[in-house]
Amino acid sequence: MASYSRILLCYNATREGRAALRKGAMLARDLEAETHLLAVLDHTGWVEGYEAPVMDLSAIERQAARDILREGVADLASLGVFAKGHFAIGDPMEHIPLFAKRLDVDLIVVGHHKVGRLARWWTRNPDSRLLDRVRCSVLVVIDSG
């Protein structure tokens, strides 16, 4: 069995993200691993199509990412896991590999959001595949309910 001493939990405040956070926290606690929490605010979906000053959006995004991070760190602490928090704004498939490499983690824990065939067809960009962009194990948590 692989030994995981440094874990990166990825969190975005969705139902799937919360499930991944809980499962990852249990694993990190059981392994007594150094734990990092990365909150990523993916702005690509809601920024497109809206006209607003970039400076205003940037300040709103930073505050939203900090709020998500604060929530995740508090949730982890309530489960007995103390994590160093990090936040990023932008494409998670860019930031997760960057932080994984920078923090030299053994394991990344992410939640999975099921999408339909049409959405999957639109997102066939090979650059968006996390497994092809990291050199460590990835645990994908699927929330069943």
pLDDT tens digit sequence for 44-96: 554 444 444 444 556 777 787 788 888 888 988 998 999 999 988 888 889 99
For residue 138, give the 3-state DSSP assignment. strand
Write out the two tokens for 115: 């999408």
Fold of domain 20-142: Rossmann fold (3.40.50)
Please give the Cα distance from 32 to 144 (Å, whole number): 26
pLDDT tens digit sequence for 91-115: 888 999 999 999 999 999 998 766 5
